[in-house]
Amino acid sequence: MATMASNTAPVTGPADPSPQLVDFSVDLTADELRRRAEVVAALGPDWDPLAVLREERAAYALLYSGLDAEQQRLHDDLVAAGVLPAAPDEGPNRAAAH
């Protein structure tokens, strides 16, 4: 017969067929560090994140340049609705420059 101690699980004898729970935890910190190191290594020594960001901003500016008034209004509506991303310089923490 099982006996109960206060605030603990029932104490069972060796003949009790009920399953026992086992604490199972895995620390993935070391694996995440290894994964990040592999990503950076795969990018190579010539990878320049600032240059990539500058090129991305230039591409965005080129993509949405030359819009007429109606196209600009529609673009602004889509950005406001969250359908299109804001310009890199107009992220959620920056005021719109319109």
Instruction: Express each pLDDT in 38-84 by its tens digit.
Output: 999 999 999 999 999 999 999 999 999 999 999 999 999 999 999 99
30 located within any domain: no
pLDDT exceeds 70 at position 11: no
pLDDT at 18: 73
pLDDT exceeds 60 at position 93: no
Give the chain's domain count: 1
d(CA 74, CA 76): 5
41 located within any domain: no
Beta carbons within 8 Å of 10's beta carbon, 6+ residues apart: 2, 3, 4
Residue numbers of the domain that contains 67 = 48-84
pLDDT at 91: 55
Residue whose entry in the numeric block shows the structure tokens 């600032």 = 50
